[in-house]
Amino acid sequence: MPKELTEKFSTMPPHREVPAALRKLRAAGFRLFTLTDNLLEVQTRQLTNGGIVDLFERRFSADGVKHHKPSRQAYAYVEKELGVPSSQFCLIACHTWDTLGAVAAGWEAALIKRPGNDVLGVGPQPQVVGNDLNDVADQLIRRYGAKA
């Protein structure tokens, strides 16, 4: 990735509702992790610049296993690192290919339908669909209950 693009990408702010929605999930007892196709260094800068890096227990990059999402190996990497079975994960994403890969790997998935994005009519479907992360967080808390 060209350096200028990497710099711009790593300084993009999160959507407005993201910090509060992440805090809501944490308060409800959800453990939060990231899994990105970007390098860990880029992800860390982006989350730090957005003021949300500390909301995640741990951060993962598909680069650590050399297989990008939606490859099964990317999801298996996180399972192995955490010692948690696939059935205990729910990936939240705004990209349908990420949710397709997660569901195919045995994870649950939640799709954020940002403008111009929607579920696909084919393949494994996300169990939760919302218009923003706050909507998805509310649905996940209702679905699984507060664990805190």
Report strand pairing: 33-36 vs 58-61: parallel
Domain-wise residue ranges, the chain: 3-144
The average pLDDT across 7-21 equals 89
Which ranges of the chain does DSSP label H, i.e. alpha helix? 3-10, 18-27, 40-49, 72-82, 96-104, 133-144
What is this structure's pTM?
0.91
Specify the amino acid at residue 114: R
* Confidence grade of residue 148 (pLDDT, cut at 50, 70, 90): very low
- Encoding tokens for residue 116? 């111009």
Using CA atoms, how far apart are residues 77 and 35, in angstroms rounded to an integer? Answer: 10
Write out pLDDT tens, residues 75-121.
999 999 999 999 999 999 999 999 999 999 999 999 999 988 889 88
Give residue 63's pLDDT: 92
* Confidence grade of residue 1 (pLDDT, cut at 50, 70, 90): low
Instruction: Give the SS3 label for residue 90.
Output: strand
CATH topology of domain 3-144: Rossmann fold (3.40.50)
What angle (nearest 5°) sits at the alpha carbon of residue 18, between those of residues 118 and 7? 90
